[in-house]
Structure 1
């Protein structure tokens, strides 16, 4: 797949979306939030979502479904030369749950965990919930 399919959307197209990011503030503010993509959705993703809607697949995937972990392991191998086992890959609902899982796996309670600051503030909540010490690493303005 080529990156050219992800050409930037215009500000007018973005403001035409029915999203909080592009409709909360007036036209004099350009929102730079982390959680919303300002790129068109990849055609393969659109096709997959449409197929699920057409088949009315709105339930949970079957137990033992391993296509995503296998695809992730293959992607890591092709992209980085790293060969994780598919059974090492965990599917999580969002970035915060992923961070929580990794912090709990790699550190002990009360361990210091460094985060750049300023940062997405919910990252600090993850450290609080997991009982880790927050270490802010100030970003340098250049």
Structure 2
């Protein structure tokens, strides 16, 4: 059963409340919705973009980390090698990229900064060279 963006956001907020009550010090990451492309039943990316903006806002209000998926797009278009023919489900390469985005963000969030002059940055690699992200450090 399809969910509206409002229902998805409400479910995210309820989940965050449950986690915070059970473990107030937990590191919580919320993944944005990966881009999709149109098919016979779907109307494109409008709801996804709107929902991701609301999820980012929810993260900001609650001290959570938002995980975006910029490598799913190339030149303003959804990378077809990541999305199955139905326009909705992820292909193995898309699953790998999704996992990589989340693992990279989790690693950054849980690493102590022993050197306060180094700031962690999540930097997506270019789509033509790799489907992974890498963490680099910038000098403050």
TM-score, normalised to structure 1, is 0.26
TM-score, normalised to structure 2, is 0.26
Question: Higher relative contact order at CA 8 Å, sep ≥6: structure 1 or structure 2?
Answer: 2
Kindly name which structure, 1 or 2, has the bigger radius of gyration based on alpha carbons. Answer: 1
